Structure 1
Amino acid sequence: MSYVFTPPAPVAVPVAGRPEKFPVHRIYCVGRNYEDHAKEMGFTGREPPFFFLKPADAVLVVAEGETGTLPYPSLTKNFHHEIELVVAIGKGGRNIAAADAFAHVFGYAVGLDMTRRDLQNEMKKQGRPWSIGKGFDHSAPIGPIVPREQAGDVEKAEIWLQVNGADRQRSTVAKLIWSIAETIEHLSAAWELQPGDLIYSGTPEGVGAVVPGDLLEGGVAGIGTLRLKVA
């Protein structure tokens, strides 16, 4: 088959302890999925889950033990961190019941949903899509994917983020409003999930701005850590 230009290489994330890489299909993100984060953003209660997407090539892969470089994006003066547990889908499906959800999970990773908060807030005021605030280049940093059978009790794992060595975010995955299984159930009712999909499951309270020179280090217990320097 011939193309009018050379297609880009597939976006792929390393798999911990294995030579194969995980090819990325789509990136789904869950909004306001920790109660205290919902409150700090001006919302309360267990609202129905909602989702937004990032392009697959928004992924910024950081190898375990390395410090990645996160470019400060254009157009913003309020660049926010959001630490998240990422769920990697290995088996697709539609209308997946929560009771069956984990059979579709390949593994887990530590990720950041980086946000141009000022642009996102302006879009909210105007009732317009958030894409410019959420789906920009390098907005989805991620560490290696740990296969599910090696990840331990992810549903109760501690999740945390420090900036320049000081705590910003610290919680547990158990505080998700919509659990991993419930999220997969809701998401697969709206889209047919495919192998290669990544689900950024939501961020706990404590989101805030970073500037060039800041060092971000975050992690999920049993999954690993993610280190980035803002350039």
Structure 2
Amino acid sequence: MPNTLLLWDIDGTLIDSSGAGKRALCDALRIVLGIEDTLEWLDFHGRTDVWITRQILRHHGLPETSADIGGVLNAYLERLDAAMVSEDTRVLPGAREIVETVAAQPKIAQGLLTGNLRRGAEGKLAPVGLWGFFPFGAFADDSEFRNDLGPHAVRRASEHHGVPFAPERVFIIGDTPYDIECGKAIGAQTIAVATGRHSLEELREHRPGAVFASLADAPAFFAAIG
């Protein structure tokens, strides 16, 4: 039975979707609300889809009800598949190799901890052949706030595998300070990778347990999880 749990972020950690999500959201805003917005004013990296949409509605002085947020996000999800096909999405260096290696290790479980909606996570990972490696996870469907997601992911991991996971054997892997904070919120270990918008130096300031330029050095990654 597994005794170690890895919880993966998606964008900037596992994949680079070349802005497909942002383009799909901009299309949704235009179609649903008649808003032309590049979203250059909003730093949404490491945030949840629900939080992002609320900030956009607030910025434009629009209602922020669940129905309003849901309407935008449903339109976003409808356009995400097309955006993923048309964009140059790629798996980031080393990510596929590590995920595949973990999948063959009976002592290690892995799932997702992401700001994407579940449907959005599948829409981003399925085209690159990674979705099937993650039988559980926590998503923006669970909470607007990333720090709330850890308990959902750990609970689902325990339900799926039928064993508890001690916080010191749970590793949150991501590319933003919010991933690090999310891990610390549940007493988990944290691994940061500088394959997103944040540099090694910026990530180190938040004191993750380990930090890498990328996931290309698999032996170093596995050494970090012991």
> Higher strand fraction: Structure 1 or Structure 2?
1
Report the structure, 1 or 2, having the larger helix content: 2
| Same fold, TM-score > 0.5, yes or no | no
TM-score (norm 1): 0.25
The normalised TM-score by structure 2 is 0.25
